[in-house]
Amino acid sequence: MATAYISRTSASTGNRKTWTFSFWGKRQQIGTTEQHAYGWYTDSNNRLDFGFLSTNTLVFREVVGGSTDIELITDRLFRDPGAWMHIVVAVDTTESVAADRVKIYINGTQETSFSTETYPALNADTGNNVSGTTYLIGQTNSADYWTGSMSHVQLVDGAALAPTEFGEVDSTSGIWKIKTTAYATPGTNGFCLKMEDRTNLSKSTSSNAFTFTTSGTLTATYDNPSNNFCTLNPLDNYYYNATYSNGNLKIATVAANYTWATGTQALTGGKWYFENKVIVGGSGSTENMIGIAPTTTVSATAQLGSITNSYSYYGGGGIWYNGSQQVGSMPTYTTGDIVGCAIDLDNNK
């Protein structure tokens, strides 16, 4: 979501003791800044943060009047930019056991190991579901933006729900998968943003037909929890000083260097096709190389096509593989061109 976000100011006070927030997310930047999926912010002493810290741990934190009344930071790290994950926080301050008052679930499994563990007081009113408060999806404090993709963002006011209300285990694969139906009784301030309407990503699809405000430009994607797309992989990145954006679909700010970035899904067989759009090309920028490489570690100065079984289409017009230019006099490509790659691993073509 880059520097874009979605917001809504509550017109009524709902249940401040019991509520659930659920969303599906796919990370982009790993180990950089804080990235919040949901929260509210009045000032540094009054705020709710729910997302990832720069340490790649998950944080759920509420600060009221300068006092931190809720703070859970996981021991576990979350560093996978190639998969969608389902994250749920269920709050119920009426529970007699402190650890039952806030529960966090990842892909259907409750998270129980925390480096920081502060629970709200019994029957405490949280800052959620308060009339006049502006709730933020994709950032807090005009910063800490969520940089990846999001889908099926739901708030349920008045119930602390299990993750099985929003997802389930696939009977064939055993993988946690999405339930695409909005929760039936969202409560006073509840909502569901499926983000499937490409013309209106902030459209509410729950029985509460709230109007949300989009700030900045949201980018629609067909990548979703039911059909996970291959994207560029910043963790397997041989580019020098690369900047990733658009859900790891775009590379920019790359210094001159014969290196490359790979995708998040390695291939072992079958027939595949992918495309790349050139955003910088032409005179002085003919060093673009698009192609495939084996899943082996390379040096920071190796160019695509310079190692065995790597192939690249060179922007200046040529095919490189096994360390040298093997085919010359190819058409050059430049800014705005789209280069397609068809791969047949069953027949080595």
Structure tokens, 219: 């980018």
Rounded-to-integer distance, Cα 289 and Cα 282, Å? 13
pLDDT at 327: 83
pLDDT digits (tens, 9 = 90+) for 226-249: 999 999 888 877 665 677 888 888
pLDDT at 1: 52
Rg of the chain taking only CA atoms, in angstroms: 23
Nearest to 194 by CA among 246, 231, 149, 158: 149
pLDDT digits (tens, 9 = 90+) for 263-284: 999 999 999 999 999 887 655 4
pLDDT digits (tens, 9 = 90+) for 28-87: 888 878 899 999 998 989 999 999 999 999 999 999 999 999 999 999 999 999 999 999
pLDDT digits (tens, 9 = 90+) for 279-311: 876 554 557 889 998 877 666 667 788 888 888
Rounded-to-integer distance, Cα 328 and Cα 318, Å? 4
pLDDT digits (tens, 9 = 90+) for 158-179: 999 999 999 999 999 999 999 9
Percent of the chain with pLDDT over 70: 93
Residue 130's identity, in one-letter code, is: V
Angle at CA 310, nearest 5°, toward 305 and 314? 35
Judge whether 36 and 27 are in contact, CB under 8 Å: no
DSSP-assigned beta bridge partners for residue 48: 40, 62
Q: What does the pLDDT average to over 310-333?
A: 84
Instruction: Assess whether pLDDT exceeds 60 at residue 320.
Output: yes
Judge whether 221 and 247 are in contact, CB under 8 Å: yes
Q: In 3-state terms, what secondary structure has residue 89?
A: strand
Q: What is the average pLDDT score of the chain?
A: 90
Structure tokens, 26: 């796919």
Rounded-to-integer distance, Cα 273 and Cα 319, Å? 17
pLDDT at 293: 86
Rounded-to-integer distance, Cα 257 and Cα 221, Å? 30
Within 13 Å of residue 22, how many CA atoms lie on the same side as its CB? 31
Q: Look-up: residue for tokens 């509420």?
A: 62
Rounded-to-integer distance, Cα 13 and Cα 212, Å? 17
Q: Which of 115-119, 147-151, 321-325 is predicted most confidently?
A: 115-119
Structure tokens, 234: 């910043």
